[in-house]
Amino acid sequence: MKKQEKQNNSKLKIIPLGGLEQIGMNITAFEYEDSIIVVDCGLAFPEDDMYGVDLVIPDVTYLKENIDRVKGFFITHGHEDHIGAIPYVLKDVNVPIYSTRLTNALIEHKLEEHDMLKKVKRKVVKYGQHINLGCFRVEFIRTNHSIQDAAALAIYSPAGIVLHTGDFKVDYTPVFGDAIDLQRFGEIGKKGVLALLCDSTNAERPGFTDSEKSVGKTLDNIFSEHKNTRIIIATFASNVDRVQQIINSADKFGRKVAIEGRSMVNIVSIASELGYISLPDNILIDVDQLKNYPDEKTVIITTGSQGESMAALSRMASGMHRKVTIKPNDTIVFSSHPIPGNEKSVTGVINELMRKGADVIFEDVHVSGHACKEDIKLIYSLVNPLYAIPVHGEYKHLIAQAKIAEELGYDSDHIKILSSGDVLEIDENGAEVTGHVPVGNVMVDGLGVGDVGNIVLRDRQRLAEDGIIIVVMTLENGTGQVLAGPDIVSRGFVYVRNSESLMDEAKTVLDKTMDYCMDHNITDWGKIKNEVKDALGDFVWKETKRRPMIMPIIMEV
């Protein structure tokens, strides 16, 4: 950006770099003249057609190109879709990270795994604290969510105040800490807020979101009704309050608790070190010690509530867990709700557990961490922003929040539904999308970041669908005579032992094709390969109605 342009540029720019077409990969840049700050830095989990991809991170080309203006990251809470891309993005955009205490601990854990802890500056921020960075001032405001220490951010810019809720719910009776700081929302609202960026996840759901504490009562009931069996409870590792409530029930009913699953063990250990969970003396036991207690005196808290195939509960269900074997009388509780897309795997695990004779409770032992319609209305009423900018959700969720804003009297000029990459220029006099910056999915597969792109994915899709047929031959240098082959090898196409005659016929087709090439003096390798692809492709389609990848390879001696 050149100097002379800046003179006229006294608007705030809001640039979402992800998170608006999907649940996940939340990252938004706020830019005012020489200063850029970024809120959140999350990952997304791969879509079904992203074969072999482990996770997806945002394309931050825009931040890289403006690295000298980027002042810092502000992280609203410690969920993967808000912190997961930090180790990748900070490799290129290494600026300080500001977050609350637990969030910071989770970020540090992540940085350590990537051997980056010493390379990145971090700062723990308290609720109510203000951070000055460039021409921005950012205040952390207490909210509630399905992870502790969640914060909304009030971003004070010369163009006005923007309030970003992060992911939040309104919980008047939280398990740990205080309720969302509604007073401060109101106080800032009174000052006049330019724009509200508000969580849309539950904007389609009527009513209010229940308090996390209501799950505690449900858990007590389950414990009271299942006094004679072992209890195994699966939930989200990051929901420390849920784990706390399970431990409370266990304590009340005189049971020992074993924690199982890597991420669950990690988070419970971090949370207990920092004092975010309170553990009655000697209540925790190692999974190995379970055998020393009668079943009805134990509880296992485990990962796997989403049916993830490698998680502890799934391994128990399939009989592949080394230490825990499901017994016919176990009571197994899913204290969770399937995230969209996971319904079938969750059901699969439930079926497997039931088949082993377990009693499985999988409904109504969970509350959401996101604000429902009436909660969203409450926040709008307190903040009373000039502009409504729904964030965090798929398009239909953003639309649902836009409808709420409409109900509250906002006209369409004051509701801004953005797409990732949009540059929204905004001040008191107006808000419009004036440009677009590059955005996209950067796929992480193993150690590779971004080396799997659309071409590789398309190949994987095709290979997955119908497999591959490889045709190899050796030609004589100079004459082009076939010295060896053409030979056929296939993988993922047909079970060859049952399809010998098909493969024999395919070989005949190839021999004829090569005869044709010889007869017609076709010696160019590219042309020979095309003849092979066409002839074999047609034959295979006619015989099988399949389109395997056909890959001719020519060698020369």
163: its two tokens: 């309030």
| d(C-alpha 227, C-alpha 255), whole Å | 10
- 466/531 with CB nearer its own copies: 466
Site for its own copies (CB under 8 A): which residue of 336, 445, 514, 536? 445
Q: Is 370 a catalytic residue?
A: yes
Is 489 assigned to a binding site? no
The amino acid sitting at 487 is: D
399: its two tokens: 């639309």
- 472/522 with CB nearer its own copies: 472
Is 238 assigned to a binding site? yes
Q: Interaction with its own copies in 497-556: which residues (CB under 8 A)?
A: 498-499, 543-546, 549, 551, 553, 555-556
Non-local CB neighbours of 318 within 8 Å, separated by 6+ positions: 352
Mask of contacts with its own copies, 18-37, x by CB under 8 A? ---x----------------
The amino acid sitting at 551 is: M
Q: Whole-number minimum distance, CB 36 to its own copies, in Å?
A: 28
- 354/378 with CB nearer its own copies: 354
CA distances from 98 to 77, 180, 370 (A): 11, 20, 23
Opening angle at CA 448, ends 423 and 459, nearest 5: 90
Opening angle at CA 176, ends 280 and 171, nearest 5: 145
Segment holding 347, helix H or strand E:
helix 343-355
DSSP3 helix / strand / coil % (the chain, rounded to 5): 35, 25, 40
Residue count at the site for its own copies (CB under 8 A)?
A: 64
CA distances from 421 to 434, 439, 452 (A): 11, 5, 22
Q: Whole-number minimum distance, CB 55 to its own copies, in Å?
A: 13
Listed ranges 75-83, 239-247, 426-434, 451-459: which one lies at the site for its own copies (CB under 8 A): 451-459
Q: Whole-number minimum distance, CB 517 to its own copies, in Å?
A: 18
Site for its own copies (CB under 8 A): which residue of 399, 503, 518, 522? 399
Give the DSSP letter string of 393-461: S-HHHHHHHHHHHHHTT--GGGB----TTEEEEEETTEEEEEEE----EEEEETTEEEEE-HHHHHHHH
Is 414 assigned to a binding site? no
- 121/546 with CB nearer its own copies: 546
Give the DSSP letter string of 455-517: HHHHHHHHHHHH-EEEEEEEE-TTT--EEEEEEEEEESS--GGG-HHHHHHHHHHHHHHHHHH
Listed ranges 121-129, 153-161, 317-325, 343-351: which one lies at the site for its own copies (CB under 8 A): 343-351
Sheet hosting strand 193-199, strand order edge to edge: 130-133, 136-142, 151-157, 160-164, 193-199, 387-391
Site for its own copies (CB under 8 A): which residue of 9, 10, 52, 516? 52
| d(C-alpha 357, C-alpha 484), whole Å | 60
Site for its own copies (CB under 8 A): which residue of 48, 281, 288, 411? 48
Q: Whole-number minimum distance, CB 401 to its own copies, in Å?
A: 13
- 69/462 with CB nearer its own copies: 462
- 252/460 with CB nearer its own copies: 460
Site for its own copies (CB under 8 A): which residue of 343, 413, 428, 511? 343
Q: What are phi and psi of 482, to 5 degrees?
A: -75, 115
Handedness of CA 313, 26, 185, 131 (dihedral sign): positive
Site for its own copies (CB under 8 A): which residue of 135, 182, 470, 522? 470
CB 27 within 8 A of CB 72: no
CB 238 within 8 A of CB 335: no
Q: Is 226 a catalytic residue?
A: no
Annotated catalytic residue, options 321, 370, 422, 466: 370
Q: What are phi and psi of 280, to 5 degrees?
A: -55, 150
**Residue 319 touches its own copies, criterion: CB under 8 A:** no
Annotated catalytic residue, options 149, 171, 181, 199: 199
Q: Whole-number minimum distance, CB 269 to its own copies, in Å?
A: 26
Site for its own copies (CB under 8 A): which residue of 158, 275, 438, 453? 453
**What are the residues binding its own copies (CB under 8 A)?**
21, 48, 51-52, 340-341, 343-344, 347, 350-351, 354-355, 360, 394-396, 399, 445-448, 450-453, 455-457, 459-461, 463-468, 470, 472-474, 483-485, 487, 489, 491-495, 498-499, 543-546, 549, 551, 553, 555-557
Binding residues for Ca(2+): 52, 54, 445
Residues belonging to the active site: 199, 370
